[in-house]
C-alpha cells in the first residue's frame, strides 16, 4: 500500500460498517423490558414491525437542527418508541418507563461489537497518513460509543447526525463535516448503505466505496478491498477496478 495518504480524509459510516449492535433497536427494546416486565414473551421481531417510521433517518428531508441538544433529540424520539411498545402489546403503565430506558441501554457499549476487518482497515489508513472521521446517522452518544469500543484514537472527529440536525444522504450533513474538517482536497467515504452513504456522498462530490454491511445484503467489498481501492485511486492504478466500485467518480 502507498505510504503517503497525507491530505486524504476518509469518512466512515459507523453502524453496520465499523460496528454493530446485534438486533439493533428492536433487540435493545426487548432488553429494556426484562427488568420492567419479567416474562413478557415479546420478541425483537414483534417490536421491529412497529419501528418502520418515526426515526430521523427514515425521513432525511427534515431540518432537525432544533433537536441537536441530546435531551431534545431523545425527547423527540420518545413518542416513537412508546408507540412501538404499545402496538406490540406493552401495557400503557410500562411504555413510558421502557421508552425512557432505551437511551441508556442503546448506548451501553457491552452490546456493541467491532465488525471483522474494520480494525485492520482503520489501522492501515492511519499508518498511511490518512485522516479519518466518522459520519453516521446515529444517536447523540455516538462519540462515547466509539471511544468505549477503543476506536477513538483513529478519528479526528466523530460526527453524528443527532448533533448536526441533518441525516445522510442529505447534502447538508456532508457539507457540515467537510467544512469542520477544513475542506480537505481529497475526501472518501466508506459505508454499507448504497443510498445514504454511496449516493449521498457521490452527490456531495465525495468518492465513496460500498462495503459489506452487517445489516444490509448489498454486494459491497470487504474492508480490506475498500482500503486498496482508495490507495489505487490516489496512486493512479487499476482504474477499471476502481470504477467498478466508485460510481461516477474515477475516469
Domain ranges within the chain, ordered by starting residue: 8-21+112-245, 24-110
Does the structure show a pLDDT above 50 at 251? no
Per-residue pLDDT reduced to its tens digit, 169-183: 999 999 999 999 999
> Comparing 149 with 217, which gets the higher pLDDT?
149
Q: Which residues of 153-168 are buried (b: 16+ CB within 10 A; e: fewer)?
A: ebbeebbbbbbbbbbb
* Mean pLDDT calculated for residue range 11-28: 96
Write down the pLDDT at residue 218.
Answer: 67
Per-residue pLDDT reduced to its tens digit, 218-234: 679 999 999 999 999 87
- Give the chain's length: 251
> Which among 74, 78, 227, 236 has a CA at the least distance from the CA of 160?
74
Write down the pLDDT at residue 91.
Answer: 97
Per-residue pLDDT reduced to its tens digit, 27-41: 999 999 999 999 999
Q: How confident is the model at residue 8 (pLDDT cuts 50, 70, 90)?
A: very high
Specify the CATH architecture of the domain 8-21+112-245. 3-Layer(aba) Sandwich (3.40)
Q: Answer whether 78's CB lies under 8 Å from 99's CB.
A: yes
Average pLDDT taken over every residue of the chain:
92
Q: State which of 188-197, 215-224, 230-239 shows the largest mean pLDDT.
A: 188-197
* Mean pLDDT calculated for residue range 161-173: 98
* Mean pLDDT calculated for residue range 7-14: 96
Does the structure show a pLDDT above 60 at 77? yes
Q: How far is CA 114 from CA 17, 146, 159, 240, in A?
A: 9, 10, 18, 31
Write down the pLDDT at residue 74.
Answer: 98
Per-residue pLDDT reduced to its tens digit, 92-115: 999 999 999 999 999 999 999 999
* % of the chain with per-residue pLDDT over 70: 90
> Comparing 6 with 248, which gets the higher pLDDT?
6
Residue reference for cell 463535516? 177
Q: Answer whether 160's CB lies under 8 Å from 61's CB.
A: no
Write down the pLDDT at residue 250.
Answer: 37
* Mean pLDDT calculated for residue range 8-14: 97
Residue 126, Cβ density class (10 Å: 0-12 exposed, 13-18 middle, ≥19 buried): middle
Write down the pLDDT at residue 213.
Answer: 80
* Mean pLDDT calculated for residue range 152-173: 98
Distance of CA 120 to the CA centre of its chain: 18
Does the structure show a pLDDT above 50 at 249? no
Amino acid at each position: 500500500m502507498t505510504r503517503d495518504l497525507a491530505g486524504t480524509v476518509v469518512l466512515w459510516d459507523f453502524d453496520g460498517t465499523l460496528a454493530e449492535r446485534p438486533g439493533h433497536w428492536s433487540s435493545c427494546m426487548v432488553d429494556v423490558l426484562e427488568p420492567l416486565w419479567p416474562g413478557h414473551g415479546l420478541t425483537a421481531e414483534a417490536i421491529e414491525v412497529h419501528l418502520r417510521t418515526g426515526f430521523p433517518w427514515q425521513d432525511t428531508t427534515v431540518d432537525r437542527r432544533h433537536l441537536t441538544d441530546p435531551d431534545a433529540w431523545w425527547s423527540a424520539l420518545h413518542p416513537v418508541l412508546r408507540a412501538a411498545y404499545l402496538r406490540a402489546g406493552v401495557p400503557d403503565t410500562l411504555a413510558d418507563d421502557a421508552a425512557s430506558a432505551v437511551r441508556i441501554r442503546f448506548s451501553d457499549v457491552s452490546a456493541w461489537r467491532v465488525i471483522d476487518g474494520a480494525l485492520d482497515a482503520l489501522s492501515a489508513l492511519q499508518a498511511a497518513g490518512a485522516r479519518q472521521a466518522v459520519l453516521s446517522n446515529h444517536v447523540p452518544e455516538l462519540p462515547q460509543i466509539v471511544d468505549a469500543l477503543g476506536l477513538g484514537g483513529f478519528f479526528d472527529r466523530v460526527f453524528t447526525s443527532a448533533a448536526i440536525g441533518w441525516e445522510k444522504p442529505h447534502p447538508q450533513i456532508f457539507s457540515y463535516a467537510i467544512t469542520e474538517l477544513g475542506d480537505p482536497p481529497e475526501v472518501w467515504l466508506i459505508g454499507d448503505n448504497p443510498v445514504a452513504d454511496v449516493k449521498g456522498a457521490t452527490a456531495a462530490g465525495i468518492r465513496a466505496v460500498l462495503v459489506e454491511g452487517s445489516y444490509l445484503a448489498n454486494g459491497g467489498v470487504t474492508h480490506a478491498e475498500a482500503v486498496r481501492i482508495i490507495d489505487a485511486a490516489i496512486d493512479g492504478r487499476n482504474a477499471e477496478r476502481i470504477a467498478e466500485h466508485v460510481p461516477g467518480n474515477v475516469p
